[in-house]
Structure 1
Amino acid sequence: MNVEQARFNMVEQQIRPAGVLDERVLNLLLVLRREAFVPPAHRDLAFADMELPLRDAEVALKKGQVMLAPKVEARILQDVDVQKTDKVLEVGTGSGYMAALLASRASHVISLEIDAELVALAKDNLQRAGIGNVEVRQADGAVPPLDGPFDVIVLSGSMAEVPQAYLDALKPGGRLMAIVGVAPVMRGTLVRRTASGFETTQPWDTNAPRLQHFPEAAVFEF
Protein backbone atom coordinates (compact mmCIF):
# COMPACT_ATOMS: atom_id res chain seq x y z
CA MET A 1 0.00 0.00 0.00
CA ASN A 2 1.20 3.48 -0.86
CA VAL A 3 0.64 5.07 2.56
CA GLU A 4 0.91 8.69 1.47
CA GLN A 5 -1.47 8.17 -1.45
CA ALA A 6 -3.94 6.44 0.89
CA ARG A 7 -3.68 9.35 3.33
CA PHE A 8 -4.28 11.86 0.52
CA ASN A 9 -7.27 9.85 -0.72
CA MET A 10 -8.73 9.78 2.81
CA VAL A 11 -8.62 13.56 2.97
CA GLU A 12 -9.84 14.26 -0.56
CA GLN A 13 -12.39 11.46 -1.01
CA GLN A 14 -13.84 11.10 2.50
CA ILE A 15 -13.14 14.14 4.64
CA ARG A 16 -13.41 17.11 2.31
CA PRO A 17 -16.67 15.81 0.74
CA ALA A 18 -18.07 15.46 4.29
CA GLY A 19 -17.92 19.24 4.65
CA VAL A 20 -14.56 19.61 6.36
CA LEU A 21 -13.10 22.60 4.51
CA ASP A 22 -10.83 24.14 7.17
CA GLU A 23 -7.41 23.93 5.54
CA ARG A 24 -5.71 23.87 8.95
CA VAL A 25 -7.58 20.68 9.79
CA LEU A 26 -6.95 19.11 6.39
CA ASN A 27 -3.24 19.91 6.51
CA LEU A 28 -2.96 18.44 10.01
CA LEU A 29 -4.58 15.21 8.84
CA LEU A 30 -1.97 15.00 6.09
CA VAL A 31 0.99 15.27 8.47
CA LEU A 32 -0.13 13.49 11.66
CA ARG A 33 0.37 9.77 11.03
CA ARG A 34 -3.00 8.17 11.77
CA GLU A 35 -1.62 4.71 11.05
CA ALA A 36 0.76 5.05 14.02
CA PHE A 37 -2.28 5.06 16.34
CA VAL A 38 -3.99 2.05 14.73
CA PRO A 39 -3.43 -1.47 16.18
CA PRO A 40 -1.10 -3.50 13.93
CA ALA A 41 -3.86 -5.99 13.08
CA HIS A 42 -5.90 -3.22 11.42
CA ARG A 43 -3.15 -0.98 10.05
CA ASP A 44 -4.08 -1.73 6.44
CA LEU A 45 -7.47 -0.14 7.20
CA ALA A 46 -6.03 2.99 8.84
CA PHE A 47 -7.48 5.28 6.17
CA ALA A 48 -10.77 3.45 5.56
CA ASP A 49 -14.14 5.11 6.15
CA MET A 50 -15.00 2.98 9.19
CA GLU A 51 -14.53 2.56 12.93
CA LEU A 52 -11.55 0.40 13.92
CA PRO A 53 -11.53 -1.84 17.02
CA LEU A 54 -8.67 -1.16 19.45
CA ARG A 55 -8.49 -4.72 20.79
CA ASP A 56 -10.32 -8.01 20.14
CA ALA A 57 -13.16 -6.94 17.87
CA GLU A 58 -16.00 -8.49 19.90
CA VAL A 59 -14.76 -6.97 23.18
CA ALA A 60 -13.97 -3.62 21.56
CA LEU A 61 -17.40 -3.24 19.98
CA LYS A 62 -19.16 -4.25 23.20
CA LYS A 63 -17.23 -1.67 25.22
CA GLY A 64 -17.11 0.99 22.52
CA GLN A 65 -13.31 0.76 22.30
CA VAL A 66 -12.86 1.90 18.72
CA MET A 67 -11.23 4.65 16.70
CA LEU A 68 -13.96 6.79 15.22
CA ALA A 69 -14.16 7.03 11.43
CA PRO A 70 -11.73 9.62 9.97
CA LYS A 71 -14.45 11.99 8.76
CA VAL A 72 -16.07 12.01 12.22
CA GLU A 73 -12.74 12.89 13.86
CA ALA A 74 -12.19 15.62 11.29
CA ARG A 75 -15.68 17.10 11.73
CA ILE A 76 -15.19 17.22 15.50
CA LEU A 77 -11.83 18.94 15.14
CA GLN A 78 -13.23 21.51 12.71
CA ASP A 79 -16.32 22.28 14.79
CA VAL A 80 -14.54 22.91 18.12
CA ASP A 81 -12.10 25.32 16.41
CA VAL A 82 -9.20 24.77 18.82
CA GLN A 83 -6.89 27.75 19.40
CA LYS A 84 -3.24 27.68 20.47
CA THR A 85 -4.08 29.06 23.92
CA ASP A 86 -6.90 26.58 24.60
CA LYS A 87 -7.10 24.19 27.52
CA VAL A 88 -8.83 21.05 26.27
CA LEU A 89 -10.54 18.08 27.91
CA GLU A 90 -11.20 14.87 26.02
CA VAL A 91 -13.17 11.89 27.32
CA GLY A 92 -12.42 8.54 25.69
CA THR A 93 -8.71 8.55 24.81
CA GLY A 94 -8.68 5.21 23.02
CA SER A 95 -5.44 4.96 21.05
CA GLY A 96 -4.65 8.65 21.57
CA TYR A 97 -5.23 9.83 18.01
CA MET A 98 -7.96 12.38 18.74
CA ALA A 99 -5.90 13.67 21.67
CA ALA A 100 -2.97 14.06 19.29
CA LEU A 101 -5.08 16.05 16.82
CA LEU A 102 -6.37 18.32 19.59
CA ALA A 103 -2.90 18.77 21.09
CA SER A 104 -1.49 19.81 17.74
CA ARG A 105 -3.80 22.84 17.87
CA ALA A 106 -4.03 23.49 21.67
CA SER A 107 -1.94 24.60 24.60
CA HIS A 108 -2.69 21.56 26.78
CA VAL A 109 -4.96 18.50 26.62
CA ILE A 110 -6.22 16.35 29.48
CA SER A 111 -7.59 13.07 28.13
CA LEU A 112 -9.53 10.57 30.26
CA GLU A 113 -9.65 6.83 29.55
CA ILE A 114 -11.33 4.27 31.80
CA ASP A 115 -9.39 1.23 30.53
CA ALA A 116 -5.85 0.73 31.87
CA GLU A 117 -4.60 -1.09 28.76
CA LEU A 118 -5.76 1.71 26.51
CA VAL A 119 -4.18 4.30 28.82
CA ALA A 120 -0.84 2.56 28.37
CA LEU A 121 -1.37 2.24 24.60
CA ALA A 122 -2.25 5.92 24.20
CA LYS A 123 0.68 7.12 26.30
CA ASP A 124 3.06 5.01 24.22
CA ASN A 125 1.55 6.21 20.91
CA LEU A 126 1.72 9.86 21.94
CA GLN A 127 5.30 9.54 23.17
CA ARG A 128 6.42 7.90 19.92
CA ALA A 129 4.67 10.66 17.96
CA GLY A 130 6.60 13.29 19.92
CA ILE A 131 3.49 14.90 21.39
CA GLY A 132 4.22 16.18 24.88
CA ASN A 133 1.28 18.42 25.75
CA VAL A 134 -1.24 15.64 26.46
CA GLU A 135 -1.87 14.26 29.94
CA VAL A 136 -3.59 10.87 29.71
CA ARG A 137 -5.35 9.82 32.93
CA GLN A 138 -7.04 6.58 33.85
CA ALA A 139 -10.42 7.83 35.02
CA ASP A 140 -14.15 7.33 34.61
CA GLY A 141 -15.20 10.23 32.44
CA ALA A 142 -18.85 10.14 33.47
CA VAL A 143 -18.01 13.08 35.74
CA PRO A 144 -15.61 15.85 34.58
CA PRO A 145 -12.36 16.33 36.51
CA LEU A 146 -11.82 19.30 38.80
CA ASP A 147 -9.21 20.87 36.48
CA GLY A 148 -11.74 23.07 34.68
CA PRO A 149 -13.07 25.23 33.38
CA PHE A 150 -12.03 24.30 29.85
CA ASP A 151 -12.01 26.14 26.53
CA VAL A 152 -12.85 22.96 24.63
CA ILE A 153 -14.40 19.64 25.67
CA VAL A 154 -14.58 16.68 23.28
CA LEU A 155 -16.60 13.61 24.25
CA SER A 156 -15.18 10.96 21.89
CA GLY A 157 -18.20 8.70 21.74
CA SER A 158 -21.96 8.87 22.00
CA MET A 159 -24.46 9.48 24.82
CA ALA A 160 -28.16 10.03 25.25
CA GLU A 161 -27.63 13.62 26.35
CA VAL A 162 -24.79 15.86 27.48
CA PRO A 163 -24.57 15.93 31.30
CA GLN A 164 -25.04 19.37 32.81
CA ALA A 165 -21.78 18.93 34.73
CA TYR A 166 -19.90 19.03 31.43
CA LEU A 167 -21.67 22.17 30.28
CA ASP A 168 -20.82 23.79 33.59
CA ALA A 169 -17.15 22.88 33.03
CA LEU A 170 -16.94 25.15 29.95
CA LYS A 171 -15.40 28.59 30.13
CA PRO A 172 -17.41 31.50 28.72
CA GLY A 173 -16.92 31.19 24.97
CA GLY A 174 -16.03 27.51 25.38
CA ARG A 175 -17.13 24.78 22.97
CA LEU A 176 -18.22 21.21 23.66
CA MET A 177 -18.62 18.52 21.00
CA ALA A 178 -20.44 15.24 21.51
CA ILE A 179 -22.43 12.66 19.54
CA VAL A 180 -25.91 12.65 21.02
CA GLY A 181 -28.93 10.43 20.51
CA VAL A 182 -30.03 6.83 20.23
CA ALA A 183 -29.14 4.58 17.28
CA PRO A 184 -29.94 4.76 14.45
CA VAL A 185 -30.43 8.53 14.87
CA MET A 186 -27.49 10.38 16.44
CA ARG A 187 -26.29 13.91 15.81
CA GLY A 188 -22.95 15.63 16.08
CA THR A 189 -23.80 18.21 18.74
CA LEU A 190 -21.88 21.43 19.32
CA VAL A 191 -22.59 23.46 22.46
CA ARG A 192 -21.17 26.96 22.97
CA ARG A 193 -21.23 28.73 26.31
CA THR A 194 -22.34 32.32 25.93
CA ALA A 195 -22.74 35.20 28.34
CA SER A 196 -26.40 34.33 28.74
CA GLY A 197 -26.33 30.52 28.66
CA PHE A 198 -25.68 27.85 26.04
CA GLU A 199 -26.23 27.69 22.28
CA THR A 200 -26.61 24.25 20.71
CA THR A 201 -26.35 23.24 17.05
CA GLN A 202 -26.40 19.79 15.48
CA PRO A 203 -24.59 20.19 12.16
CA TRP A 204 -24.27 16.55 11.05
CA ASP A 205 -25.58 13.00 11.53
CA THR A 206 -23.56 9.94 12.47
CA ASN A 207 -23.52 6.94 14.80
CA ALA A 208 -20.90 6.03 17.39
CA PRO A 209 -20.45 3.59 20.29
CA ARG A 210 -21.52 4.66 23.75
CA LEU A 211 -19.11 6.15 26.26
CA GLN A 212 -19.19 3.99 29.36
CA HIS A 213 -21.23 5.03 32.42
CA PHE A 214 -22.95 8.03 30.84
CA PRO A 215 -26.66 7.91 31.73
CA GLU A 216 -29.25 6.74 29.25
CA ALA A 217 -32.45 8.66 28.60
CA ALA A 218 -35.45 7.64 30.67
CA VAL A 219 -37.76 5.16 28.93
CA PHE A 220 -41.45 5.76 29.47
CA GLU A 221 -43.76 2.76 29.65
CA PHE A 222 -47.51 3.00 29.20
Structure 2
Amino acid sequence: MGLARYRYIVVEGPIGVGKTTLARKLGEHLEANLLLEKPDDIPFLPKFYQDMSRYALPTQLSFLFQRVEQVESLTQMDLFGGQTVADFVFDKDPLFAQLILSDDEFRLYSDIYRHLRVRAPTPDLVIYLQADIDTLVERVRSRSRDYESRMSESYLRQLAERYSRFFYDYTDAPLLIVNTEHLNLVENEDDFRLLLRRIEGMRGAREYFNKA
Protein backbone atom coordinates (compact mmCIF):
# COMPACT_ATOMS: atom_id res chain seq x y z
CA MET A 1 0.00 0.00 0.00
CA GLY A 2 3.02 2.31 0.27
CA LEU A 3 2.32 5.74 1.70
CA ALA A 4 -1.43 5.09 1.65
CA ARG A 5 -1.14 3.01 4.82
CA TYR A 6 -0.24 6.14 6.79
CA ARG A 7 -3.56 7.89 7.40
CA TYR A 8 -2.24 10.35 9.97
CA ILE A 9 1.35 11.64 9.63
CA VAL A 10 3.05 14.15 11.91
CA VAL A 11 6.21 16.09 11.03
CA GLU A 12 7.98 17.38 14.15
CA GLY A 13 11.18 19.07 15.24
CA PRO A 14 12.58 22.24 16.82
CA ILE A 15 12.14 25.78 15.51
CA GLY A 16 13.97 26.32 12.24
CA VAL A 17 14.29 22.67 11.23
CA GLY A 18 11.65 22.98 8.50
CA LYS A 19 8.80 20.88 9.86
CA THR A 20 5.95 23.10 8.66
CA THR A 21 7.42 23.52 5.18
CA LEU A 22 7.89 19.77 4.84
CA ALA A 23 4.40 19.09 6.22
CA ARG A 24 2.95 21.37 3.54
CA LYS A 25 4.94 19.67 0.77
CA LEU A 26 4.07 16.19 2.02
CA GLY A 27 0.43 17.15 2.37
CA GLU A 28 0.37 18.50 -1.19
CA HIS A 29 2.04 15.34 -2.50
CA LEU A 30 -0.48 13.12 -0.73
CA GLU A 31 -3.44 15.44 -1.37
CA ALA A 32 -4.00 15.23 2.38
CA ASN A 33 -5.74 17.39 4.96
CA LEU A 34 -3.32 19.78 6.67
CA LEU A 35 -3.29 20.53 10.39
CA LEU A 36 -0.67 23.19 11.08
CA GLU A 37 0.33 25.31 14.04
CA LYS A 38 -0.49 28.99 13.57
CA PRO A 39 2.17 31.02 15.38
CA ASP A 40 1.09 34.20 13.61
CA ASP A 41 -2.27 33.90 15.40
CA ILE A 42 -0.58 34.10 18.82
CA PRO A 43 -0.68 37.82 19.75
CA PHE A 44 1.89 37.49 22.54
CA LEU A 45 4.58 35.78 20.47
CA PRO A 46 6.46 38.89 19.22
CA LYS A 47 6.41 40.28 22.77
CA PHE A 48 7.66 36.95 24.11
CA TYR A 49 10.90 37.19 22.14
CA GLN A 50 11.40 40.73 23.48
CA ASP A 51 10.75 39.81 27.12
CA MET A 52 10.50 36.06 27.68
CA SER A 53 9.98 36.08 31.44
CA ARG A 54 7.06 38.52 31.21
CA TYR A 55 5.19 36.97 28.31
CA ALA A 56 6.06 33.28 28.70
CA LEU A 57 2.84 32.25 30.44
CA PRO A 58 0.30 34.00 28.16
CA THR A 59 2.24 32.81 25.11
CA GLN A 60 2.33 29.22 26.31
CA LEU A 61 -1.35 29.19 27.26
CA SER A 62 -2.29 30.70 23.89
CA PHE A 63 -0.46 27.89 22.10
CA LEU A 64 -2.09 25.34 24.42
CA PHE A 65 -5.61 26.63 23.68
CA GLN A 66 -4.86 26.71 19.95
CA ARG A 67 -3.55 23.13 19.97
CA VAL A 68 -6.57 21.91 21.93
CA GLU A 69 -8.90 23.37 19.30
CA GLN A 70 -6.84 21.84 16.51
CA VAL A 71 -6.77 18.41 18.11
CA GLU A 72 -10.52 18.56 18.70
CA SER A 73 -10.99 19.33 15.01
CA LEU A 74 -8.71 16.40 14.19
CA THR A 75 -10.90 13.99 16.13
CA GLN A 76 -13.81 15.10 13.94
CA MET A 77 -11.93 14.48 10.69
CA ASP A 78 -12.63 11.33 8.75
CA LEU A 79 -9.20 9.77 9.09
CA PHE A 80 -10.42 6.75 7.16
CA GLY A 81 -11.65 8.81 4.22
CA GLY A 82 -8.42 10.69 3.60
CA GLN A 83 -4.93 11.31 4.89
CA THR A 84 -3.96 14.03 7.34
CA VAL A 85 -0.54 15.65 7.76
CA ALA A 86 0.18 17.75 10.87
CA ASP A 87 3.22 19.69 12.06
CA PHE A 88 2.85 19.05 15.79
CA VAL A 89 2.29 16.33 18.37
CA PHE A 90 -0.02 17.60 21.11
CA ASP A 91 1.88 15.80 23.87
CA LYS A 92 4.99 17.90 23.19
CA ASP A 93 3.27 21.06 24.51
CA PRO A 94 4.77 20.73 28.03
CA LEU A 95 8.23 20.60 26.43
CA PHE A 96 8.07 24.35 25.80
CA ALA A 97 6.38 25.06 29.13
CA GLN A 98 9.13 23.40 31.15
CA LEU A 99 11.72 25.47 29.31
CA ILE A 100 10.21 28.95 29.55
CA LEU A 101 7.99 29.04 32.67
CA SER A 102 8.90 29.68 36.28
CA ASP A 103 8.09 26.96 38.82
CA ASP A 104 4.87 28.67 39.94
CA GLU A 105 3.81 29.33 36.35
CA PHE A 106 4.53 25.74 35.36
CA ARG A 107 2.35 24.43 38.20
CA LEU A 108 -0.50 26.64 36.99
CA TYR A 109 0.09 25.59 33.39
CA SER A 110 0.14 21.91 34.41
CA ASP A 111 -3.22 22.24 36.16
CA ILE A 112 -4.75 23.84 33.06
CA TYR A 113 -3.08 21.28 30.76
CA ARG A 114 -4.52 18.37 32.75
CA HIS A 115 -8.02 19.85 32.57
CA LEU A 116 -7.85 20.71 28.87
CA ARG A 117 -5.90 17.73 27.60
CA VAL A 118 -7.80 15.93 24.88
CA ARG A 119 -7.22 12.50 23.46
CA ALA A 120 -5.92 12.85 19.92
CA PRO A 121 -5.78 9.96 17.48
CA THR A 122 -2.40 8.25 17.57
CA PRO A 123 -0.32 9.09 14.47
CA ASP A 124 0.45 6.28 12.06
CA LEU A 125 3.88 7.85 11.62
CA VAL A 126 5.92 10.63 13.21
CA ILE A 127 8.78 12.15 11.20
CA TYR A 128 11.20 13.85 13.59
CA LEU A 129 13.56 16.28 11.85
CA GLN A 130 16.95 17.04 13.37
CA ALA A 131 19.68 19.58 12.58
CA ASP A 132 22.79 20.96 14.24
CA ILE A 133 22.31 24.09 16.34
CA ASP A 134 24.32 26.23 13.89
CA THR A 135 22.02 25.11 11.09
CA LEU A 136 18.92 25.91 13.14
CA VAL A 137 20.23 29.39 13.93
CA GLU A 138 21.02 30.03 10.26
CA ARG A 139 17.58 28.86 9.14
CA VAL A 140 15.78 30.97 11.75
CA ARG A 141 17.82 34.04 10.82
CA SER A 142 16.98 33.56 7.13
CA ARG A 143 13.22 33.60 7.76
CA SER A 144 11.10 36.72 7.39
CA ARG A 145 9.70 36.84 10.93
CA ASP A 146 11.29 39.89 12.52
CA TYR A 147 10.49 38.82 16.07
CA GLU A 148 12.47 35.58 15.63
CA SER A 149 15.63 37.58 15.04
CA ARG A 150 15.70 38.17 18.81
CA MET A 151 15.76 34.44 19.53
CA SER A 152 19.02 33.55 21.27
CA GLU A 153 21.27 30.67 20.29
CA SER A 154 21.08 29.48 23.90
CA TYR A 155 17.29 29.20 23.70
CA LEU A 156 17.45 27.27 20.43
CA ARG A 157 20.08 24.95 21.88
CA GLN A 158 18.00 24.20 24.98
CA LEU A 159 14.91 23.66 22.84
CA ALA A 160 16.72 21.25 20.50
CA GLU A 161 18.03 19.30 23.49
CA ARG A 162 14.54 18.98 24.96
CA TYR A 163 13.18 17.77 21.63
CA SER A 164 15.96 15.20 21.52
CA ARG A 165 15.10 13.92 25.00
CA PHE A 166 11.37 13.89 24.23
CA PHE A 167 11.76 11.74 21.13
CA TYR A 168 14.43 9.55 22.72
CA ASP A 169 11.65 8.22 24.96
CA TYR A 170 8.83 8.47 22.41
CA THR A 171 7.04 5.17 21.79
CA ASP A 172 3.45 6.20 21.04
CA ALA A 173 3.79 5.83 17.26
CA PRO A 174 6.28 4.59 14.63
CA LEU A 175 9.10 7.14 14.48
CA LEU A 176 11.38 8.06 11.59
CA ILE A 177 14.29 10.24 12.76
CA VAL A 178 15.66 12.32 9.88
CA ASN A 179 18.99 14.13 9.96
CA THR A 180 18.41 17.14 7.67
CA GLU A 181 22.01 18.41 7.61
CA HIS A 182 22.63 17.14 4.09
CA LEU A 183 19.04 17.04 2.88
CA ASN A 184 16.93 19.72 1.24
CA LEU A 185 13.58 18.01 1.47
CA VAL A 186 11.55 20.89 0.09
CA GLU A 187 13.57 22.35 -2.80
CA ASN A 188 15.46 19.23 -3.91
CA GLU A 189 13.05 16.76 -5.50
CA ASP A 190 15.62 13.95 -5.41
CA ASP A 191 15.95 14.35 -1.63
CA PHE A 192 12.18 14.46 -1.24
CA ARG A 193 11.78 11.26 -3.25
CA LEU A 194 14.49 9.64 -1.10
CA LEU A 195 12.43 10.48 1.97
CA LEU A 196 9.27 9.07 0.40
CA ARG A 197 11.03 5.80 -0.41
CA ARG A 198 12.43 5.67 3.12
CA ILE A 199 8.94 6.10 4.55
CA GLU A 200 7.50 3.45 2.26
CA GLY A 201 10.24 1.03 3.33
CA MET A 202 9.75 1.43 7.07
CA ARG A 203 9.27 -1.82 8.93
CA GLY A 204 10.36 -1.10 12.51
CA ALA A 205 8.94 1.10 15.26
CA ARG A 206 11.98 3.42 15.18
CA GLU A 207 14.20 3.99 12.18
CA TYR A 208 16.78 6.55 11.03
CA PHE A 209 17.38 8.37 7.78
CA ASN A 210 20.71 10.10 7.28
CA LYS A 211 22.12 11.15 3.91
CA ALA A 212 25.90 11.32 4.30
Normalised by the size of structure 2, how large is the TM-score? 0.30
Normalised by the size of structure 1, how large is the TM-score? 0.29
Larger strand proportion of the pair: 1
Larger helix proportion of the pair: 2
**Higher normalized contact order (CA 8 Å, seq sep 6+, divided by chain length):** 2
